[in-house]
Structure 1
Amino acid sequence: MSLWNVTNAPDYQDDEGTYTAQAISTTQGSLAPYTYWYDHPPLGWIQLGALAWIPRLLGFDSGTEIGNMRYVMSIFFVANSVFVFLIARRLQIRMVFSVLAVALFCLSPLSLVLGRQVFLDNVGTPWLLLAFYLALSPRLALWTHVGAALCFAAAVLSKETLAIFGPALLIALIHRSKWITRAFSVVGFLTVGALALSSYPLIALLRGELLAGSGHVSLQDALAYQFFSRSGSGALWEQGSGRAQLVAGWMYYDKYLIVAGLVAAVIALFRQRSRWIATGLTLFLLPIVLGTGYLPTMYVIAAIPLLVLAIAVAADILWTAARRAGPSGSMLRRTVSLFTATSMVGGLLVMALPQWFEQDATLLASQNNSDWYSALEWTKTNVPRNETLLAPYSMWQDLRSNGWNGPWEVVALEKMDLDSAVAVHHPHGWREIQWVIEGPTVKPNIRYLNLTNAGLALDHSTIVQSFGAWHIRKVVTNQEAAPLPGPDGAQP
């Protein structure tokens, strides 16, 4: 199901365009098409770039770069499904409930909508699940625990927010009764994990970009922006806040999975080997409930496998309790078992499936990106290749692949203001832009990021062609060009 209608729904997002462009850049020898400013560790899009050839090899060529990258995401979706099943079996969950966990993961509208989009969380989550699978190995071998550390580091270096599940992974590792080599395993896990994670600041150090300084980007500045300077999403209990709206959006797609999974996590506490699931979901919830900082849409992705595993564990616990009611073979035991099975299956059928069927059917049949494709085709056909475009990241890579070869011939919206190199390539700023591709996110991003230069280009343009919410605009200016200040504030 992750492949069905994948290029048509949901809408292409700017983040998807960003990671697609960065992934393709890695195949050309650089970490990003523009200045790499340590917004995220690069391992996530390095993996995407390494796998980008697979869709065309298998005949899944959408004709667009961002569409093909969605096909790549199906590899990670399948990997997540496999690891959900393997972890369920490693937790000694009955086969029927292990299969139920996979079915919930694959059919949930929340999982399908987010799982097919080019988000780094989707890349990191299989590594996180593999780390849990290795940590739960019954062999108690040192190599499995070192492997778990390496996989966890790969997850965090794919998307740094996955670090929040670290304590849950440690609990999964040490949940058993004492074993002789416990100390070696824990030390090996922590040491190897820390060494692997240190590769990220080491890269910044070797590039001379670890600490803030004039004339260059730095890991310090990037961390300061992410944790302190970036606009927050408000409090969960604040009416109309971005955080409240985001959680409402998750609930819209699948309130049954979220609520049932959180309740099931409490039941999972009654079984020692599954307590890490409750820990992981608690750690996931804390920033949502207590935080006010920026909360991304894709934050929930890594929690979905834990939610379905919690449900499978709870179902297994309840079934086991029901099977123990009364003497073996008694009418009471059969009645309780039948009631338990009917309640679990009936509750799923009555509540979740109607909503799931409706939302999944919509997702698998919608043509959300038809206007995007029309705008792309019109631009390719009608805009001269020697004229400069300003475009949102969701279309940027596909324009660049169709004749605008340089990153400053078709300029990503945010880079017009946020990359200091614009003063070198376009010293007269917005007046050197001839066309603006306006998608539904352009005006909100100009306001949110205070993109003055991009905003002026938009304000001084007129619509030439429209396709729904997508507009191709021609910049019109008779004003004498004044060069922009250089990166150091001096006139070039």
Structure 2
Amino acid sequence: MALLELRPPVRPPDQGIRPAHKAPLDARHSFTLRRLSRQDRLVMAALFIMAVVFSLWNLTGAPSYQDDEGTYTAQAFSVHKGTLAPYTYWYDHPPLGWIQIAALNWIPMLFNLGDGTAIGATRYVIAAFFVSSAILLYMLARRLTVRIPFAALTTVVFILSPLSLVLGRQVYLDNVAVPWVLLAFYLALSSRHALAHHVFAGTCFAIAVLSKETLAIFGPALLLTLINRPRWSNRAFSVVGFLAVGALVLAFYPLAALLRNELLAGPDHVSLQEALTFQFLKRSGSGTIFETGSSRAELLTGWLYFDKYLITAGLIAALVCLFRRNSRAITLAVALFALPIVLGQGYLPAMYIIAVIPFLALAVGVGVDIAWSGTEKLWRHHAGLKNPLRGSFVVALGGSLVLMSMPQWFEQDRELLTAETNTDWKNTMTWVQDNVSREDVVLAPYSMWHDLNSSGWDDPWSMIAVEKPDLDAQFDQIHPGSWRDVDYIVVGPTVLANIENLGLTRTGKVLENSVPVKTFGEWSINKMTVPLEELAVRGTP
């Protein structure tokens, strides 16, 4: 009787039919929000709090406000007025990124967050996207079957990286697009019968591209994620749904241009065709990374200065990801992203690196998880080595983390969370608001343009962004006297570089014929002093 009790129960032969109430094997083991374990809930709550604290701490103190931040802030506030930009919208980027910002930026303004400035308040909106990216990164790691401690490590690395913290709190469209890409990858890894999830993944990816077009480079990696699974009964439906719905959403952009009669180039109007031609063919390049002193080489140096450890560890870990089937798309994503940096010569923006930071952190988490799995296999064959191997692994991982965080991460994060880099910017703006007549024509950098314009000028051609006299044809219609009609110019750290790089000859003329009347550090307010011979021709271009 005892022997009979030890025998396995007799089971009927497998008829090859799975009971209808049972989920597929990959669905039962797939991470899902509907079946969160207690450990996952606790870890996600802790990571959420951590991301909120680090993204909001000293948000308006550092880093310094940038012109691109001011541009997207001004465009977001223009959406409230029913336009896509305060000046002529010329299809430099799809507008969905700042439309999303506009949907949220009234909230911090309502509570007077951001030191009473528009750009400061908009950073609170970007913080919401940063926190979303952090949580989605953990969810994605767990769906890739990464163990809870290493999935948490993935998110902690993303949150604490100085490169991530510096760029992740600034008003850049890349920060708006990143959570949509991560959500697309998360949905693409859903169970094999979740056709709606795969279709929605295509929608999310299209939203990401319409938020910042450079993220289209992740398309092949996302498609690989979708199809690279061991069992999948409705492969064709999911792929077709993913591609069709994604393409349909993307088509709204050229369709909008077509409806505005701005799809193709023509006289007296901007066009999507001209914008694409400028971005891909006419825009001045950044050189190569192998060219000493090139903009591309300097950008790479700057990225490595902020976090050489994450970039290096992420690139190495991306190769380790090849050893696990479901993580090979990470390798492809990092490789595709690095390709234009290494081989390209075209224009490379400083914020380009933002999109790959979560994938570098994810590669680190997956790589550590793969290494732990290999260590487990080793001690199963050599039971006596279990404790030494475990201890060595923990020591090696802990030592690596200490090396990454001390001193570079600690010092840079501490400075970011304590520095006050926008004091001169605020003093300059306040002086202009208090001392310059609303009847005067003023040129101001985009970083403070919206705040100045909304403080009494309320006219984009009286308070003018420094680029617009040269880059917007409407300036000639409003100011027939050209640069001579300007009374003041606000000069910041980027003005001289923009005059040179963008060929701003009219703004350059204003600067040449002006003298500082007030200075705050690197900022100054210059008043025009037109020579007598110029007064005779004032009113002519």
Matched, 1:414 2:467: yes
Contact 1:51 1:72 survives alignment (8 Å): yes
Matched, 1:19 2:75: no
Aligned to 1:273: 326
- 1:448 is aligned, of 495, 501, 516, to 501
Secondary structure at the counterpart of residue 144 of structure 1: helix
Q: Which shifted more, 5-14 or 279-288?
A: 5-14
Aligned to 2:134: 81
Aligned to 2:524: 471
In the superposition, relative to structure 1, how do residues 169 and 475 fare at CA in structure 2: closer, same or farther (>3 Å)?
Answer: same
The residue type equivalent to 1:144 in the other structure is: H
Secondary structure at the counterpart of residue 519 of structure 2: strand
Supply the distance in 1 between the matched residues of 2:119 and 2:157 (Cα, whole angstroms).
27
Secondary structure at the counterpart of residue 226 of structure 1: helix
Q: Which runs of 4+ in 1 moved over 3 A?
A: 56-59, 326-329, 481-485
Matched, 1:119 2:168: no
Report deviation, 1:80.
Answer: 0.4
Report deviation, 1:212.
Answer: 0.6
Q: Which shifted more, 347-356 or 200-209?
A: 347-356
Aligned to 2:150: 97
Identity %: 56
| Correspondence 1:421-432 to 2 at 5 A | 421-432=474-485
Supply the distance in 1 between the matched residues of 2:406 and 2:456 (Cα, whole angstroms).
47
Contact 1:319 1:341 survives alignment (8 Å): no
Report deviation, 1:324.
Answer: 1.6
Supply the distance in 1 between the matched residues of 2:189 and 2:475 (Cα, whole angstroms).
50
Report deviation, 1:333.
Answer: 2.2
**Can you list the C-alpha shifts for 1:26-76, whole angstroms capped at 9, x where unaligned?**
011100000000000000000111100121345524210111111111000
**Can you list the C-alpha shifts for 1:66-111, whole angstroms capped at 9, x where unaligned?**
1111111100000000100000110010000011011001100000
Supply the distance in 2 between the matched residues of 1:58 and 1:418 (Cα, whole angstroms).
36
In the superposition, relative to structure 1, how do residues 26 and 356 fare at CA in structure 2: closer, same or farther (>3 Å)?
Answer: same
- 2:87 is aligned, of 28, 34, 37, to 34
- 1:205 is aligned, of 258, 269, 273, to 258
Secondary structure at the counterpart of residue 324 of structure 1: helix
Contact 2:484 2:539 survives alignment (8 Å): no
Matched, 1:340 2:393: yes
- 1:300 is aligned, of 353, 357, 361, to 353
Supply the distance in 2 between the matched residues of 1:400 and 1:106 (Cα, whole angstroms).
35
Aligned to 2:271: 218
Report deviation, 1:325.
Answer: 1.2
Secondary structure at the counterpart of residue 35 of structure 1: coil
- 1:132 is aligned, of 156, 171, 185, to 185
**Can you list the C-alpha shifts for 1:300-346, whole angstroms capped at 9, x where unaligned?**
11101100110000100111111121347822122112211211121
Aligned to 2:287: 234
In the superposition, relative to structure 1, how do residues 217 and 483 fare at CA in structure 2: closer, same or farther (>3 Å)?
Answer: farther
In the superposition, relative to structure 1, how do residues 327 and 147 fare at CA in structure 2: closer, same or farther (>3 Å)?
Answer: closer
Contact 2:114 2:121 survives alignment (8 Å): yes
The residue type equivalent to 2:510 in the other structure is: A
In the superposition, relative to structure 1, how do residues 251 and 382 fare at CA in structure 2: closer, same or farther (>3 Å)?
Answer: same
TM-score (norm 2): 0.88
In structure 1, runs of 5+ residues without a counterpart are 486-492
Contact 1:115 1:301 survives alignment (8 Å): yes
Supply the distance in 2 between the matched residues of 1:386 and 1:482 (Cα, whole angstroms).
17
- 2:513 is aligned, of 460, 471, 482, to 460
Name the Cα RMSD after superposition: 1.2
Aligned to 2:213: 160
| Correspondence 1:379-390 to 2 at 5 A | 379-390=432-443
Supply the distance in 1 between the matched residues of 2:94 and 2:331 (Cα, whole angstroms).
28
Supply the distance in 2 between the matched residues of 1:105 and 1:250 (Cα, whole angstroms).
15
**Can you list the C-alpha shifts for 1:125-155, whole angstroms capped at 9, x where unaligned?**
1111110010011253111111000000000
Matched, 1:358 2:411: yes
In the superposition, relative to structure 1, how do residues 243 and 48 fare at CA in structure 2: closer, same or farther (>3 Å)?
Answer: same
Q: Which shifted more, 19-28 or 51-60?
A: 51-60
Matched, 1:290 2:358: no
Contact 2:60 2:114 survives alignment (8 Å): no
The residue type equivalent to 1:414 in the other structure is: E
Contact 1:324 1:333 survives alignment (8 Å): no
Report deviation, 1:13.
Answer: 0.6
Secondary structure at the counterpart of residue 473 of structure 1: strand
TM-score (norm 1): 0.97
Secondary structure at the counterpart of residue 15 of structure 1: helix
Supply the distance in 2 between the matched residues of 1:389 and 1:29 (Cα, whole angstroms).
25
Supply the distance in 1 between the matched residues of 2:278 and 2:183 (Cα, whole angstroms).
31
**Can you list the C-alpha shifts for 1:262-285, whole angstroms capped at 9, x where unaligned?**
100000110000110000000000
Aligned to 1:146: 199
Aligned to 1:488: none
Matched, 1:69 2:122: yes
Contact 2:114 2:123 survives alignment (8 Å): no
In the superposition, relative to structure 1, how do residues 246 and 378 fare at CA in structure 2: closer, same or farther (>3 Å)?
Answer: same
Matched, 1:255 2:308: yes
Contact 1:431 1:481 survives alignment (8 Å): no
In the superposition, relative to structure 1, how do residues 484 and 311 fare at CA in structure 2: closer, same or farther (>3 Å)?
Answer: farther
Aligned to 1:244: 297
Instruction: Give the length in aligned residue pairs.
Output: 485
Q: Which shifted more, 291-300 or 349-358?
A: 349-358
In the superposition, relative to structure 1, how do residues 118 and 351 fare at CA in structure 2: closer, same or farther (>3 Å)?
Answer: closer
Contact 1:423 1:484 survives alignment (8 Å): no
Supply the distance in 2 between the matched residues of 1:56 and 1:27 (Cα, whole angstroms).
13
Aligned to 1:180: 233
In structure 2, runs of 5+ residues without a counterpart are 1-53
Matched, 1:195 2:245: no
The residue type equivalent to 1:23 in the other structure is: A
Report deviation, 1:427.
Answer: 1.0
Question: Which has more radius of gyration?
Answer: 2
**Can you list the C-alpha shifts for 1:141-177, whole angstroms capped at 9, x where unaligned?**
1111110000000000000000000000001101102
